[in-house]
A and B are shown apart, each in its own frame.
Chain A
Amino acid sequence: MASNTSDLRSPLARARGLGSAKDGTEHWWGQRLSAMALVPLTIWFVFGVIRHLGADYTAFHAWMKSPFSAVMMILTAVVTFHHAHAGLQVVIEDYVHVEWQKLALLIAVKFLSFALAAACVLAVAKIFIGA
């Protein structure tokens, strides 16, 4: 690597792998990683929804009492909100150019994503525990 004369970074900077922004590609990578996770989770979710179309309260609870189903539903919700938040953030950053509006939207979307994710997790946990 020492022969790469076009790279002006120090060996330490190169080893850290972070650019001048200091947070590297975490956002990009997180979006891709959640996308990969959502492929099997989405397929599970669609099958699950089809099998519980028009299901009543008892049937739905029986489904969420299974540890596997409860874990999959929590993962689906959490990863979906992570991915949705990452995507909405990029859309807002690309199209909203008035600084205070951009900041307000980014904060609102982040708060809402966390709140809805927490509500989904608590709902599944409550049904699973049977409280």
Chain B
Amino acid sequence: MANGSGRPLSPHLQVYKLPLTAILSITHRITGVGLAVGTLLLTWWLVAAAVSPEAFARAQGFIGSGFGLLLMFGWSAALYYHLCNGIRHLVWDAGKSFELSDADRNNRIVLGAAAALTVLTWIVGLAVW
């Protein structure tokens, strides 16, 4: 060992390849912060609806624009990821699913469910729009 103690070193984040479980863990925080920023749009949307038809049309117009739809796609994916992984956190909080095999399986369930829900939402959304 580099420190000469023979004891294991903690991973050096710049050279250590994070396992999927670790990537999904930090992604939970990143999506959480992103969703918090998204509350600004939620507030704009609701306040605009309370102000005037013109203000609401501006907000709806922004959401329906190319940039707005890109943001909405990002937020919907982040929302579903944070929702699915959040349920996984609640399962952990209940003291379950701590085995490595559980983690590997739940990685796939969370990613699959978040992707499926995002795609499904956009198919339905674009169909009714």
Interface residues of A (CB under 8 A from B): 32, 35-36, 38-39, 42, 46, 50-51, 53-58, 60-61, 64, 73, 77, 80-81, 84, 87-88, 91, 116, 119-120, 122-124, 126-127
Contacts and interface: CB of A to CB of B under 8 A. Distances in A.
Given A50-B128, A57-B56, A77-B42, A36 B79 contact: no
Contacts of B46: 73, 77, 119-120, 123-124
A127 B52 CA distance: 10
Interface string B68-80: 0000000010010
- Nearest 8 A/B pairs, CB to CB: A123-B50, A57-B53, A84-B36, A123-B46, A53-B129, A126-B50, A57-B56, A123-B47
Nearest to A63: B49
A50 B42 contact: no
Nearest to B52: A57
Interface residues of B, number: 32
Majority secondary structure of chain B interface residues (helix, strand, loop or mixed): helix
B126 to A, nearest CB: 9
A97 B83 CA distance: 29
A32 B90 contact: yes
B87 interface: yes
Given A42-B79, A57-B57, A124-B46, A116 B40 contact: yes
Interface stretch (B17-25, B27-35, B103-111): B27-35
B49 A64 contact: yes
B38 to A, nearest CB: 9
Given A35-B89, A116-B39, A46 B47 contact: no
Contacts, number: 84
B64 A80 contact: no
Contacts of A81: 39
Contacts of A77: 42, 46
Contact of B125 (A50, A58, A84, A91): A50
Nearest to A109: B36
B32 to A, nearest CB: 5
A60 B129 CA distance: 14
A54 B36 CA distance: 23
A80 to B, nearest CB: 6
B128 A53 contact: yes
A128 B5 CA distance: 68
Nearest to A88: B36
